[in-house]
C-alpha cells in the first residue's frame, strides 16, 4: 500500500500543500480503519457516530451532529441507517419533545471492546516510526492548525 500511495497519491515531495497532506492522511486512516471495521458491519463514517456514543450515552441528535461537524439532516440519515442495522435507538427527550436522544444498543456496547483496539492498531501503524515526543508534537501542531482555521 505504501508504494501505491507514493506512486498514485498527490505529489507531496514537490509542492504538496498542507491541505493535500491532511486529505491524504484522512483518506488513508479512513481506508485502513474501514477495512478493519467492515468485518463487523461498521463503515468508517458509522465508526465516528459509534465512537461519540461510547463517550456520551443518550446524546441529543443535534449535539451529535455538531460534534461530528455535519448537518442535522446528514446525521438524521446516518442515524436512520444505524438504527436499521441495530446499532442505535432513538427516543424523544422527555424534557424537550422536539429533541431526539440517541443511545447505543447492547450490540454497539459489545462492539466497543472490539473496535477500539482496531482503531488503536491503525494509530500505531500510522506512527510506527515516530517517538512518543514526535507523536505529541504532531498532535499539538494539528490541533493548532485546527484552531487557526476555526478562528479565521
- Banded pLDDT at 1 (limits 50, 70, 90): very low
Model pLDDT, residue 8: 52
pTM, entire model: 0.78
Average pLDDT score over residue span 78-84: 96
| Residues 85 and 41: beta-carbon distance below 8 Å | yes
Residue 14: what pLDDT?
53
Residue-wise pLDDT tens digits, 7-42: 455 555 555 688 899 999 999 999 999 999 999 999
Give the percent of the chain with pLDDT over 90.
78
Are the C-beta atoms of 70 and 60 separated by less than 8 Å?
no
C-alpha 129/C-alpha 111 separation (Å) is: 29
d(CA 88, CA 47): 12
Report residue 94's pLDDT band, with 50, 70 and 90 as the boundaries: confident
Angle of CA points 18, 24, 26, to nearest 5°? 100
Amino acid at each position: 500500500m505504501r508504494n501505491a500511495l507514493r506512486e498514485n497519491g498527490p505529489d507531496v515531495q514537490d509542492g504538496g500543500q498542507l491541505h493535500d497532506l491532511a486529505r491524504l492522511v484522512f483518506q488513508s486512516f479512513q481506508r485502513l480503519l474501514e477495512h478493519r471495521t467492515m468485518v463487523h458491519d461498521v463503515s468508517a463514517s458509522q465508526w465516528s457516530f459509534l465512537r461519540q456514543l461510547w463517550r456520551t450515552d443518550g446524546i441529543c441528535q443535534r449535539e451529535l451532529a455538531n460534534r461530528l461537524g455535519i448537518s442535522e439532516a446528514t446525521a438524521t440519515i446516518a442515524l436512520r441507517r444505524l438504527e436499521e442495522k441495530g446499532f442505535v435507538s432513538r427516543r424523544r427527550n422527555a424534557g424537550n419533545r422536539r429533541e431526539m436522544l440517541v443511545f447505543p444498543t447492547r450490540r454497539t456496547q459489545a462492539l466497543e471492546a472490539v473496535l477500539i483496539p482496531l482503531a488503536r492498531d491503525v494509530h500505531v501503524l500510522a506512527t510506527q516510526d515516530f517517538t512518543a515526543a514526535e507523536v505529541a508534537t504532531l498532535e499539538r501542531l494539528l490541533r493548532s492548525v485546527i484552531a487557526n482555521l476555526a478562528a479565521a
